[in-house]
Amino acid sequence: MTTYLFVFKIQVNEIIALLLIATTLLVTVLTIITLWFKVSIHAAGISGVVGFFLVFGLKYPDSMAFYPLLGLLICAGLVMSARLQLNAHSPKEIWAGMCTGLGICFGTLYWFV
């Protein structure tokens, strides 16, 4: 609903609209997958943000996205390690979440920007 309001009613910038659409798509896919297979939502979320910044770094080389991307990669490693340390997820569930988040968010922005 929020994505609909921002994209169609307020008509935000194209990049912001794609970020919102990718996030909504990720949440929808994760909700469907979680019905059959436990996936790390934390890994998917942080990997999605890494995917966004990776696209910005590739598409806009002058954007100074290297240092935020480096910080996000360290943060992603810490989040996923913490989920494993707490025995909240298995490595397979972490990998599934990471690949889902990175794939959807990176793919959406890279394809449409």
Q: Which residues contact 19 (CB under 8 A, 6 or more apart)?
A: 52, 109
Give the CA radius of gyration of the chain: 15
Residue-level pLDDT at 96:
97
Residue in 93, 107, 109, 85 with CA at minimum distance from that of residue 30: 93
With a cut of 90, say whether residue 3 has pLDDT above it. no
How far is the CA of 78 from the CAs of 14, 23, 28, 75, in angstroms?
32, 22, 25, 5
How far is 21 from 4, CA to CA, in rounded Å? 9
CA distance 20 to 63: 20
| Model confidence band, residue 1 (pLDDT cutoffs 50, 70, 90) | confident
pTM: 0.90
Distant-in-sequence contacts of 24-29, Cβ < 8 A, 24+ apart: 25/104, 25/108, 26/100, 26/101, 26/104, 26/105, 29/100, 29/104
Which tens digits make up the pLDDT trace of 26-84?
A: 999 999 999 999 999 999 999 999 999 999 999 988 888 889 999 999 999 999 999 99
